[in-house]
C-alpha cells in the first residue's frame, strides 16, 4: 500500500512539473472537492457504523447488543421469530451533521456479525453491508461494501477487505469507539457527465489517507473521521 501511495505522489509531481494546464487544474479541483465532500461523508458513515457495531461483534450476544444500543442512545427491536434484529439510531455524525441510521443485525456462528445499514437524512443516502468477525490477534476484522449517492447522481462505492479495528472505551470526545489498525477502502466514484474516479483510502486510527485518480490526475489528502 505504501508503494502505491508513493506511486500516486510521484505521478502527481511529474504531472505538475511541466506547468498546470486548465484541464489539469479543473480535474485537480474536482478530485479535491470529491475527496473532501462525498468521499469524506461516506467514510464518516463507515466510522459511525463501526463505532456502534464493532463492540457488538466482541460481545457476540443479543443481550450484549441490547446494552450497547442503550448506551449509544439507540433502540433495539428484537425479532422473536428469527435471528435478525433491528437497531434504530437517531444519528451518527457525518461531517458534523447527525444522520439517522437503521441497521439489521444478525449473529452468526464463530464470533461473526453481519450488519446491513441504511441512513436517512443528510446530503447522501448511504448503505453499508459488513461482516465483522473476532480475530484473537487483530481485534475485529471487517469485510464488506459501502455505497453512497448524492442528489446530483454522484455515487461513491467502497470495498473493505480484511480491515482490522480495535474498540476503545474512552476515546476523547467519542467514548466507546473503533480505531483502525490496518487496511484500506478501495474507492470507485461516478457521476453523470464526469470522468470516473478511482482510489484508495488507507485507514489508521480515526483517519483516512485518501488518494484519488481522475483522467490521469492524482489528488491526495488526509481526512479525520467521525
* Residues in a beta bridge with 209: 202, 222
pLDDT at site 25: 64
* Residues in a beta bridge with 29: none
Q: What is the pLDDT along the chain (226 residues), one digit of tens a residue?
A: 444 433 333 323 233 233 334 455 666 778 888 999 999 999 999 999 999 899 888 887 788 889 888 888 899 999 877 889 999 998 777 887 888 999 999 988 767 889 999 998 777 899 999 999 999 999 999 999 999 999 889 999 999 999 999 988 777 766 678 999 999 999 999 988 878 999 999 999 999 999 999 888 888 999 999 7
Dist CA 31 CA 197 (whole Å): 8
Cell of 217: 490526475
Q: Name every residue whose Cβ is closer than 8 Å to that of residue 119 and which is 6 or more positions away in sequence.
A: 45, 92, 94, 99, 100, 101, 102, 125, 126, 127
Name the domain count of the chain.
1
With cell 459511525, the residue in question is 48
Q: Is the dihedral of CA 92, 40, 207, 164 positive or negative?
A: positive
Cell of 36: 473532501
Question: How far apart, in Å, are the Cα atoms of 135 and each of 108, 170, 179, 184?
Answer: 15, 22, 15, 18
> What is the residue range of 162's domain?
2-16+23-224
Asked if residues 123 and 134 have their Cβ atoms less than 8 Å apart, the reply is no
pLDDT at site 26: 66
Asked if residues 75 and 52 have their Cβ atoms less than 8 Å apart, the reply is no
Amino acid at each position: 500500500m505504501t508503494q502505491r501511495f508513493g506511486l500516486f505522489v510521484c505521478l502527481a509531481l511529474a504531472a505538475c512539473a511541466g506547468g498546470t494546464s486548465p484541464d489539469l487544474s479543473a480535474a485537480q479541483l474536482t478530485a479535491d472537492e470529491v475527496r473532501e465532500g462525498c468521499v469524506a461523508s461516506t467514510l464518516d458513515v463507515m466510522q459511525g457504523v463501526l463505532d456502534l457495531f464493532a463492540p457488538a461483534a466482541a460481545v457476540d450476544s443479543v443481550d450484549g447488543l441490547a446494552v450497547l444500543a442503550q448506551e449509544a442512545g439507540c433502540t433495539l427491536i428484537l425479532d422473536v421469530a428469527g435471528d435478525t434484529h433491528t437497531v434504530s439510531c437517531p444519528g451518527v455524525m457525518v461531517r458534523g451533521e447527525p444522520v439517522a441510521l437503521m441497521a439489521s443485525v444478525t449473529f452468526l456462528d464463530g464470533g461473526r456479525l453481519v450488519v446491513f445499514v441504511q441512513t436517512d437524512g443528510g446530503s447522501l443516502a448511504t448503505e453499508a453491508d459488513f461482516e465483522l468477525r473476532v480475530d484473537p490477534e487483530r481485534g475485529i476484522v471487517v469485510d464488506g461494501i459501502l455505497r453512497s449517492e448524492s442528489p446530483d447522481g454522484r455515487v461513491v462505492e467502497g470495498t473493505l477487505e480484511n480491515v482490522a479495528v480495535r474498540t476503545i472505551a474512552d476515546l476523547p470526545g467519542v467514548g466507546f469507539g473503533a480505531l483502525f489498525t490496518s487496511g484500506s477502502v478501495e474507492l470507485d466514484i461516478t457521476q453523470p457527465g464526469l470522468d470516473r474516479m478511482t482510489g484508495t483510502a488507507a485507514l489508521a486510527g480515526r483517519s483516512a489517507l485518501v488518494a484519488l485518480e481522475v483522467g490521469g490526475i492524482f489528488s491526495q489528502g488526509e481526512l479525520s473521521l467521525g
